[in-house]
Structure formats: structure tokens, C-alpha cells
A and B are shown apart, each in its own frame.
Chain A
Amino acid sequence: MANSKKYEWNTTPVDNPPNDSAWQEFVAGATKERIRKERKAELDKQKNENAKPKTPMTGADWVKFVILVIISIAFIMPILLVLMNSFKTNVSVSNEPFAFPNGDNFVGFDNYTNGVEKINFFPAFFTSIFVTVFSVAFIILCTSMCAWFITRVKTWYTKLMYLLFAFSMIVPFQMVMYPMSFVANQLSLDNMFGIVVIYLGFGAGLSVFMFAGFIKSVPLEIEEAAMIDGCGPIRTFFMIDFPILMPSAITVAILNAMWIWNDYLLPTLILNRQKTLPMAIQYLRGGYGSIDMAAMMAMLVLAIIPIIIFYFSCQKYIIKGVVAGAVKG
């Protein structure tokens, strides 16, 4: 056919348009395309407007808003009550916990000084920080390495290890607590250094399982390239895999930190002399139900403050990490 030649924008003579069918087709096609583009732009614009409603909230929305405000006040109330009561006398805490501190029952920071002395708050606080920081650090380092090993090496014993780690996640602590405290005692792990080993071992199941899931998504080609370039397994892991695993490591770290910081039963059974913070607080409950409630309130405030600071400083990671942990676990 004669009119098989193609026309394109910019190369076509405009002042003397050819009058063949290819040209007509070209013009028609271009027009259609322009119309299509315009309509798409219009639709996109509409969509964007729909996605981000700039309209003010409706009446029903305001009702919901007010309800949510009331509920959130109810949610913070317990913490505010504890704070308020931490400045009151013991009798006032148990008889009128909803009354504001006034001249009669206001005791200033007495409860704080009293409680700090009674339960040895600062040593307990230090023990908790020490145990949490070191356990989490060792869990991250050791379980990520272990998870990498059992995902990359495929033999019978790595498969068995993976199964055992997964199995340990469904075993409740009560099942192993008595023999565990015996073993820890026999191996002299009943101090704040030894408990790090216990936490690494008992936390290994979930952490290895989660890391193994993340490592499976790291492409093998990158590692192979590194190894061909002369990296040994150690350098490959720490220079290639570990940076990629960083976001997952944060998730694992947050989950473990929350568990270990708040844990009560395991340190109670393992530690011989030191106390962690939850143990120190429990210690305020004397024999047979006599509790110094005023000092208790002050100590609860001191226990909650670090958690709230931690929460507001890395809230984004915490919420994300906890959700990711829930979905994976």
C-alpha cells in the first residue's frame, strides 16, 4: 500500500498537510488520545478530591468525636488517679481515692522518698535496665545469626532446630519454670548476668522464627555476589544481611524489650539477690495483704514514667513492631 508511511508529531509538514488515509488516521488517533488524556486527568482530579475530603466534619462526625474524647479521658483516668493519689496520705488513698489532694491529706513527695527507700527503687531500676538492655542486645545478635544459619544451611539438624524453636513458642512458662530455676541454680546463672542467658534461651523461639521469616525475603543473589567478591560468611552476614534486617530487628527488639522489662515471674524464680522493678513493686505487698498503698502509688508512677517516655519517643516503631509481631507470631 502506498500510504503505509507513518506520521509523527514534529516531523509532519503542517502548512501543507497530505491528504491520504494514513494522515487522517493519524489525526483521528491523536484527537482521540488527547480526549482520553483530558478525561483521565479530570477523573484523577475528582478521585483526589474524593480521597482527601476537605469538607468540614458533619454533625454525626462531631458526635463521634465527642464520644471518642470522653472515652480517651476514661482511658487516661486510671493513670491520672495513680498520679493524684501518689501525693496523698495512706488513709486517703484507700478511703477516698477520687478526692483531689487538699490541705489535710496532701503529703508532698513523702510517698516517693518513703517508697524509694522501702523497696530499694534505684538498684531495682538499674537491674531492670541492665537485664533488659543486655538481654535484648544478645537476643538480636545471636538469634539473627542463628536464624540466618538455619535458613541458609539446609540439613536435618537445621530443620530440627527450626521445628524446636517453633514448638517452644506454644509452651507456657509454667511448664518449664520449676526445672528451669533448678538448672539456672546449678549452673550459677541465678544473677543478673546469668539471667541474660536465660532470656536469650527462652526468647529464642519467637525471635529466631521471626528473623527466619524476614531472612527468606532477602535475595540470595546479593549474598552470592558478596561471597564471589571474596567475603566470608561473617562479613557477608554483617555487611549485607544485617543492614537489610535492621527494620525487622527493631520489631524483634521492641517485642522482647516490652516482655523483659515487665516480666515478673521469671526473674523472681531465677534471681537470687537482685530485684527487678516489678519484683520490687510486688515486694511492697507485705505479708497477708497489708499494702502501703500510698507508697505503692508513688512507685507505680515511677514505674510508668519510663514506659511513657519510651512510648512517646518511638511510638511509630512500637505500634508498627507490635502489629508486625502479632501478624508473624
Chain B
Amino acid sequence: MEKAIKKWFPLFALPTLVSFAIAFLVPFAMGLYLSFCKFKTVKKTEFVGFDNYIKAFSNDKDFLNALWFTTKFTIVSVITINLIAFIFAMLLTKAIKGTNFFRTIFFMPNLIGGIVLGYIWSMIINGVLYYFNATITTDANYGFWGLVILMNWQLIGYMMIIYISGIQNISPDLIEAAEIDGANAWQRLIHVTLPQIMPSITICLFLTLTNSFKLFDQNYALTAGAPGKDTQMLALDIYNTFYGRVGYQGVGQAKAVVFFIIVAAIALTQLYLTRSKEVEN
């Protein structure tokens, strides 16, 4: 059977493989190489070794500032999103009327694209700040908390759905047994519910972590980095280095490689943690 299928490689696997090579494999290899080159167009490159990497960190503080801003933003939004989503999920797994309706409403913002989200919230936040004679670009803190609110609005519903499916999978016998043993609501939450939904927690942490860290569209539409470059996140900084400064494409590519390494490290740590949990179960 395997041999019969093997002959059909050109039909079954080739279209995907060729597109994959065009859109990913070749650009990835080129990207790695270009991060060691000085260039304005890809056709004319000059090998400069680790120069771009040194420039990325030392030339201006943009990249490090963006890294710090991104980290701060990621930590705050991961905590707020997961906490609120979990509370909503606990509320919606009780026998309350209209749980499906609430679920539908909370999930909806997740479908709206980043650019649209950015402009919706820039209107609202500017509207509120107008009463204080300010705009979202007056102070970097406004932009920061604006992004946090936007991210919460977008992702809470999504994480909530994952938490709900985790909570519903807990066997009622376990809760009952804890009740009989005299555990109060808080103890049941800490010792029964939370350990039982560990898989959901890891998934949600990972999704919020990578989504916040790689954020671009929302950042671009809400503040575009203003004031100055104070609310610029990593992805936006890389974009601006590529397309905003002539002769800095190599530095942009070097920043992109560093960005890739950080994201990959987060993803692999996550994978490792999930695997070790699976063994325990």
C-alpha cells in the first residue's frame, strides 16, 4: 500500500511543499544569512559578521526599550486575562440562566481583527482622555494600559471557553467527595478544581503569552509606538527598522532573529512543561 501511495508524491505532497518552500523555507534560510549582511536590497549584500547583532543592541536603545515594554505588557496581560477569564468560566459553569448567551457575547471580540480593534479602542480611550485634556499618545502609560484593556477585551472570551471546557470535564464525584470530606468552596477550588484543569491552564498561559509577545496589528493601530517610540513593541520595532530606516535592513533582520529565538524558547519551554505534565497524568 505504501508503495502505491509513494508514486503519487507529485500530486499529494508537492503543491504544499513548493508553496511551503516559497513562503517559509527559502525566506527563513535567507533571513538567517541576511542577518549577517549589510544590504539595501537582497540582490546586493555584503557579509559583515555579527555587526548587525551588535548594532541591534548598542546603536540605539530602541530594541531594548521595546523588549522591556513587550515583557511588561506580556506579564500584565497574561495575569489579567487568565484571572478574569477563569472567574468568568467559574460563573458560567453554575446553573445560571442564559449561560450560552453570555458565552456568545464574551467570545465575540476574539473574531475581530487587530487593526479594527486598535481603532475601536483608540476612539474610546481618546474619548475618555478628552475630558482630561489628553490623548492616548500624551503619555506612554496611557498607551500601555490601553493595550492591556484591548488585549483583555479580545482574549478573555477565548480563554474563558477553554477554561469552561476544562471545568466541565472534572468528574462531579471528585467535587462530591471533597464536599463530603468537609472542604469549603475555597478549598475545593484550590485542591480539586485547579489541579484538575492544569491542561487548560497551560494552554491558556501559552496562548496569551505568545499572542501578547508577538502583538503587532493592535500596537500599530492603537498608538503606532507614540509618544516617540515609547509604546513600541518588539514586532513593531522590527518593522520600523526594516521599512523606516534606509541601510538598516540587516539590523532589522538581526533583531528578527533574536525575536525568533525568544519566541522559540517560550514555545519549547511550554512544550517541555506540557510533556512532563502528561507523564504525571
Binding site for B on A (CB under 8 A): 53, 57, 61, 64-65, 67-68, 71-72, 75-76, 78-79, 81-82, 85, 93-98, 142-143, 145-146, 148-150, 152-155, 158, 161, 164-165, 168-180, 182-184, 187, 189, 197-202, 204-205, 208, 223-224, 227, 232-234, 237, 258, 261-265, 278, 281-282, 285, 289, 293, 296-297, 300, 303-304, 307-308, 310-311, 315, 318-319, 322-323, 326-327
Contacts and interface: CB of A to CB of B under 8 A. Distances in A.
Contact of A93 (B5, B123, B161, B221): B123
Contacts of B114: 262, 264, 278
Choose among B16, B22, B114 the residue with the greatest number of A CB atoms under 10 Å from its CB.
B16
Contacts of A64: 91, 94, 96
Nearest to B2: A153
Given A72-B105, A183-B26, A278 B116 contact: yes
A258 B110 CA distance: 10
Interface of B: 1-2, 4-9, 11-13, 15-28, 30-31, 34, 41-42, 88, 91-92, 94-98, 101-116, 119-121, 123-124, 126-127, 130, 137, 153, 157-158, 161-162, 165, 203, 207, 214, 216-217, 220-221, 224, 226, 234-235, 238-239, 242, 249, 252-253, 256-257, 259-260, 263-264, 267-268
B161 A323 contact: yes
Residue of A146, A148, A304 contacting most chain B CB atoms (<10 Å):
A146
A165 B97 contact: no
A208 B127 contact: no
Nearest to B221: A282
Instruction: Report the 4 A-B pairs with minimum CB-CB distance, sorted nearest first.
Output: A201-B23, A262-B113, A97-B127, A201-B19
A174 B116 contact: no
Nearest to A95: B130
A70 B13 CA distance: 52
B17 A146 contact: yes
Contact of B20 (A148, A165, A183, A310): A165
Contact of A179 (B1, B42, B94, B158): B42
Contacts of A61: 94-96
B22 A178 contact: no
Classify the interface of chain B: helix, strand, loop or mixed. helix
Given A145-B13, A227-B4, A308-B108, 20 more contacts: A57-B95, A61-B94, A75-B106, A75-B108, A142-B15, A161-B17, A171-B260, A174-B216, A176-B27, A178-B31, A179-B27, A179-B42, A189-B22, A265-B216, A265-B217, A289-B226, A296-B119, A315-B104, A322-B161, A327-B162
Contacts of B101: 72
A70 B88 CA distance: 13
Contact of A142 (B16, B104, B224, B267): B16
Contacts of B17: 146, 161
A318 B111 contact: yes
A198 B115 CA distance: 21
A297 B123 CA distance: 9
Nearest to A303: B116
Nearest to B32: A175
Given A262-B112, A300-B116, A183 B22 contact: yes
A72 B123 contact: no
A149 B1 CA distance: 12
